[in-house]
Amino acid sequence: MKSLSLFFAATLAAATVLPAIQAENPSVQAPSKLPAGMFRTLGNQIIDKHGNPVRLSCVYWLGMNVKDGHLINMSAPFKGIQANMDAIAATGFNCVRIDFNNITLHDDGAPALLSELDQVVAAAAKANLRVIINDHSNEGLRGTVPDVSCTAQQANGLWYDVGGATDGTDGCKNPGHTTQDLFQSDWVSLASRYAHNDTVIGFDLWNEPIGSHGHSLWGGGSDRDIHRMFQSVGSALLSKDPSKLIFAECPLAIYDPATLYDGATVGSAPWGDCTGVKKLPVVFTVNGQTIKNKVVYDVHLYSNAVDDYVRLFGPSNSPTAIKAMNESFGFLEFQNIAPVFDGESGTGFQKNPDDEGWADMLVKYLNGELGSVGGPAFSGNQQGMGIAWMSWNTPFTKEGDDDLGILNLDGSRIEKQLKIVKPLLYYPRPKVSSKARTLSSRKELNKGN
């Protein structure tokens, strides 16, 4: 994704407390928090310990993707971690995606990073929120390559930056420090830290691996094989706590039409190419036992203002765009193979008329309302695809930024963004009994008599 500036002047010093978001129609239930306990997958659904489908309706709170960085907007419009968590919960979200970078775990900033992570988890628990932790970059530095920022997306396309297939840098001319082994040991350390802590529900192993130009590959066993990494690192983490979900981001930034990972589909997949899963799904192994119900595949569905899709597909809500989404990841949902999580999504509605159509498409696609054009469809008590909205902050407004952020300077939520978020929150649906289905079928039959 385009680079984001992480620092800007705060103009308010006091926190603003807002009431919880209610459903727009009073007859419709308010958004729900996630139930107690941990989660697993079943087909295209994430389910709770009772087998009921749930929806991860998250917001991304960034800042620790930067070397020795801290969560942004900590002093205003909400002051401190707990006040922010309470406001996130009041907005209707049920989980928070936060990040870290590898180098900070090994320099003088390590104690502060770990303390901040601990505080986030504790504050989330008090607010009845859950947490997904993401490894965002190795070095946490922007670098000196024009129009590229390794704090947003590591330019070498890999999850490590020393040895193996690297040139010894992260691709942004920052000297590397993270080997493949160190990458795994960093994750094992964090998994051990939050083992059996039910507030932390999952680990997003690597942010936005790049699939274009052979950066990351799906299978084959080379040092570019991200499928192998997902399986080995995920297995190591589940050995520490088998209750966690493991998020595997499908390699993205495939703009120029190419043969995708399945070896058959030709197209573009700027949001992520999950086609390798057809022949080679991610399967974990712990103590000799295979685990298939803990992986959630992940794509990033940004607006055209951020990702420039129009030049590829025309309007974001065009049949061409929907077809490309279906072919590259949607098939996992409509073929009931595995759940797909929209791990980053957002728009600032700035300087791009296509974003209005994108917003309408996003809500309908994730909610299963585009089945008529091949998109996923959900029925009964099934839930739509989960999301992590980008992002919990006041908008980035410097030249070249994407204006992302859901907060006004006074702490109120930006209404145009909230309008997208509301229908993507978690609204539990009652399970339809077999008796009710039978009665409904009889009524349909009687209509024809």
Q: Which domains does the chain have, with CATH numbers?
A: 40-447 (3.20.20.80)
Q: What pLDDT, on a 0 to 100 scale, did the predictor assign at position 11?
A: 29
How much of the chain is helix, strand and coil, in % rounded to 5? 30, 15, 55
With a cut of 50, which residues of the chain have pLDDT below it? Answer: 2-19, 21-27, 435-449
Amino acid at 260: L
Rounded distance between C-alpha atoms, residue 165 and residue 184, angstroms = 16
Q: What pLDDT, on a 0 to 100 scale, did the predictor assign at position 12?
A: 30
Rounded distance between C-alpha atoms, residue 313 and residue 308, angstroms = 10
Global pTM reads: 0.92
Query: What would the pLDDT profile of 16-57 be if each residue is shown by its tens digit?
Result: 344 454 444 434 689 999 999 999 999 999 999 999 999 999
Q: What pLDDT, on a 0 to 100 scale, did the predictor assign at position 3?
A: 40
What is the residue-wise DSSP string for 46-93?
EE-TTS-EE--EEEE--STTSTT---SSSSSSS-SHHHHHHHHHHHT-
Rounded distance between C-alpha atoms, residue 226 and residue 368, angstroms = 29
Q: What pLDDT, on a 0 to 100 scale, did the predictor assign at position 310?
A: 86
**CA separation (Å) from 333 to 45, 144, 339, 386?**
8, 39, 6, 12
Task: Tell me the CB-side half-sphere exposure of residue 246, using CA atoms within 13 A.
Answer: 30
Q: What pLDDT, on a 0 to 100 scale, did the predictor assign at position 445?
A: 38
Q: What pLDDT, on a 0 to 100 scale, did the predictor assign at position 436?
A: 46
